[in-house]
Amino acid sequence: MSVQTKVTQLNTVEKNQERSFWNRMIKQILRDRLTLMALSILFLFTVASFFGPTIVENALHVDVEDASVRDRYLPPSSEHILGTDQLGRDQFIRLLYGGRISLLIAYSASLLAMTIGVSVGTLAGYFGGAIDDILTWVISTLSSIPSLFLLLIASAIFSPSPEVLVMILGFLSWIQIARLVRGQILSLKRQDFVLAAQALGSSDLRIMVYHILPNVISIALIAVTISAGNLILVESGLSFLGLGVQPPTPTWGNMLSDSRSYFSYGIHLVVWPGTMITLTVLCFFLLGDGLRDALDPRNRK
Amino acid sequence: MTSYLIRRVFQAIPTVLGITLISFVMIMLAPGDPLTRFVVNPEASKESTEHLRRLMGLDKPILEQYLYWMVGNDWTTIDVDGDGVGDLQGTRLGLLRGDLGQSFQHNRPVLDLILERVPATLQLSVPPLFIGYGLGILLGTLAAAKQGSFFDQLLRFLSVVGTALPNFWLGLILIIIFSVNLQWLPIGGMRDLAKTDSSFDLLDTIAHMILPTIVLSLAIIASVTRYMRASVLEVIEQDYVRTARSKGLSQRRVFNIHIMRNALLPIATLFGPGLAALLSGTVIIEQVFSWPGMGRLVITAIYQRDFPVVMGTVLVGAILYIIGLLISDILYGILDPRIRY
């Protein structure tokens, strides 16, 4: 008899686990081959560009800035698999270094954007009233400036190191997330479980963190994945204009910007940085779409 | 409708004020003294530097400077020699009376500089708007009509790739292919510089516009196609479409009246953000194709630390965007008669 009870309990535990948020998401994504592929490519790029440079430095004893005038504009060969640039630097190694900066900026800036966006959106949506009015005004003002113009001012003022760029990009891209979260919370806070928590005397902070936040995590996650892709585009655009990360620190954007003057010597200088940007952004967008399919309850059939 | 429009214009005023304040404060936070670029001679006396600083009003607190920038200083006097008595009548009219200040670099009113450039930017950004929306709506509808077909799959793939492509890279590659290797099209600029007369040559203009227009249109086509496809698919499943079909209405009538009109609604809301993306796109694309528009003006101004021009351009960009949002609302109202303002 007692064995019987144990078995049923075990089953319930398993069932609950099956229904948990993350489990469901992982299951859904594992079934979606395109999303899985995007995730793998992103993972590969991230690992390669975060650990690649260390390996290059310590194992191969090659420095990223190793220039050699004799080896300029070499086409791809077995020695330099993606060729060399105008100073004879190996393009593959520079792409790894550039990827580290570009991806690091995208990851940190979207993390910052998500933190600010979720906090502002939660505060505005939950408290309403004057707080909501002020925050909504800030959001609508900021979002009625095409953000590239704001970025241009900001990067003109603070000569951008990667850290500064993360701050600027993060502070300028939380708006969309805040708006989504606010909208979601406006409908959430009228729901019974929130009313129940309020009736039980939970503090506002507790309700926001334990009851409301888990319900907005999914839309924030989708938004932040898409925005990471956009941030890669924006960062490379800024670097291309010469207003982003300054050379000699390589990023995919300023490598493209350099290549503008030298493409007649070697087309590989234009092709590869652009391909890396496109592939990475594409993967972020596909992942975002996949997450939306996995998480948005409206899509669940 | 009219009263709604008037109300919306009034609502836009605080937003515009906010934008002026934000951009002004940001510029003022800039490290470095804007005067350093005026005082070319390192041995310039401290007195003459201070003289210049007071003349330009740079010795005042930020908020006071903002006030002068907004409403001008022709109603007061400038204390040029620093003795506490105003001795020069102010000449600035202020933003509210259409005076965006003088460009440091060109010594000309900022407004003139910008107005010179606006037509070029519009010439570059309006055609992609029509091409992008036209083709995007068409392709999105076709994809939805043939949902699941090879054509649909291909379009879905292409439209994601289209949004992920950095437009400056695409521009660069098109230049390399069509202007450098094949030499079919000009490499950049707005007109053939070899021609001395300033007469308008349609063929020449079109030749210069083809590549940038393709690049700018592509991003819009890609995103409109995606939204249109999703929107049509959603509408097709609605009850009123089934009702219309079961009433025996012709396929075409159901499509034109019941499906298209409703499916276009979300696309109308896309117009505002789309315009913002287009404006940002033109800034970069003008740089790639050496197009003499507002984008090039602002980038050059940033390199030269010509702050009045930077602020003026940002402001004009923001106002264009707000107008875009307004158009978006009006379109929505036209498409959806349920909305009463």
CATH number of the domain within which A116 lies: 1.10.3720.10
Query: pLDDT (tens digit, 9 = 90+) per residue, A123-156?
Result: 888 887 888 888 888 887 777 777 777 777 777 7
- Model's pTM, two decimal places? 0.80
CB contacts, 8 Å: B30 with chain A: 156-157
Distance CA A283, CA A38 (A): 5
Q: Nearest chain B Cα to A259, which residue?
A: B172
CB contacts, 8 Å: A278 with chain B: 161, 164-166, 169
Q: How many other CB atoms are found less than 10 A from the CB of residue B11?
A: 12
Q: Is the pLDDT of residue A112 over 90?
A: yes
Enter the tokens of residue A69.
Answer: 């005038």
Residue A111 CB burial class (10 angstroms; 0-12, 13-18, ≥19): middle
Query: pLDDT (tens digit, 9 = 90+) per residue, B50-80?
Result: 777 777 777 777 777 788 778 777 767 766 6
Is there a contact between A278 and B164 if contact means CB atoms under 8 Å apart?
A: yes
Q: Does residue A298 belong to any structural domain of this protein? A: no
Q: How many other CB atoms are found less than 10 A from the CB of residue A72?
A: 16
Distance CA A191, CA B246 (A): 38
Tell me the pLDDT band of B138, cut-offs 50, 70 and 90. very high
Distance CA A271, CA A278 (A): 11
Residue type, B322: I
Q: Is the pLDDT of residue B153 over 60?
A: yes
| CATH top-level class of B112-340 | mainly alpha
Pick A59 or A273 by higher pLDDT.
Answer: A273
CB contacts, 8 Å: A282 with chain B: 160-161, 164
Q: Is the pLDDT of residue B173 over 80?
A: yes
What does the pLDDT read at residue B3? Answer: 77
Indicate the residue of A142, A263, A282 with minimum beta-carbon distance to B164: A282
Q: Is the pLDDT of residue A1 over 50?
A: no
Q: Nearest chain B Cα to A283, which residue?
A: B164
User: In total, how many domains does chain A have?
Assistant: 1
Assess contact for A279 and A41: CB atoms under 8 A. yes
What value does the mean pLDDT take over residues B28-48? Answer: 66
What value does the mean pLDDT take over residues A215-243? Answer: 86
Tell me the pLDDT band of A235, cut-offs 50, 70 and 90. confident
Q: Nearest chain A Cα to B324, which residue?
A: A144
Q: Does residue A19 belong to any structural domain of this protein? A: no
Q: Which of A135, A149, A240, A284 to mutate to test the interface with B (most CBs of B within 10 A)?
A: A149
What value does the mean pLDDT take over residues A197-216? Answer: 84
Structural domain for A55, as ranges: 40-65+80-287
Query: pLDDT (tens digit, 9 = 90+) per residue, B73-131?
Result: 776 776 666 666 666 666 667 777 777 777 777 778 888 888 888 888 888 888 998 99
**Measured in whole angstroms, how far is the alpha carbon of residue A63 from the centre of its chain?**
28
What does the pLDDT read at residue A65? Answer: 65
Mean pLDDT, chain A, integer: 78
**Measured in whole angstroms, how far is the alpha carbon of residue A284 from the centre of its chain?**
7
Indicate the residue of B27, B298, B321 with minimum beta-carbon distance to A157: B27
Enter the tokens of residue A75.
Answer: 């086409």
Q: What are the extents of the domains in chain B?
A: 17-110, 112-340
Q: Is the pLDDT of residue A4 over 80?
A: no
Q: If you write DSSP's letter for every residue of chain A in order, what string do you get?
A: -HHHHHHHHHHHHHHHHHHSHHHHHHHHHHH-HHHHHHHHHHHHHHHHHHHHHHHHHHHS---TT---GGGTTPPS-SSSTT-B-TTS-BHHHHHHHHHHHHHHHHHHHHHHHHHHHHHHHHHHHHH-HHHHHHHHHHHHHHHTS-HHHHHHHHHHHSPPPHHHHHHHHHHHSSHHHHHHHHHHHHHHTTSHHHHHHHHTT--HHHIIIIIIHHHHHHHHHHHHHHHHHHHHHHHHHHHHHT-SSPTTS--HHHHHHHHHHHTTT-THHHHHHHHHHHHHHHHHHHHHHHHHHHH-GGG--
Residues 6+ apart with CB under 8 A from B54: B78, B79, B80, B81, B82
Q: Which of B17, B19, B168, B306 to mutate to test the interface with A (most CBs of A within 10 A)?
A: B168
Q: Does residue A297 belong to any structural domain of this protein? A: no
Q: Is the pLDDT of residue B222 over 80?
A: yes
Q: Does residue A1 belong to any structural domain of this protein? A: no
Indicate the residue of A142, A236, A243 with minimum beta-carbon distance to B166: A236
Whether B317 has its CB under 8 Å from any CB of chain A: the answer is: yes
Q: Is the pLDDT of residue A15 over 60?
A: no
Residues 6+ apart with CB under 8 A from B93: B72, B74, B99
Q: Does residue A253 belong to any structural domain of this protein? A: yes
Q: Does residue A5 belong to any structural domain of this protein? A: no
CB contacts, 8 Å: A144 with chain B: 15, 19, 318, 321-322, 325
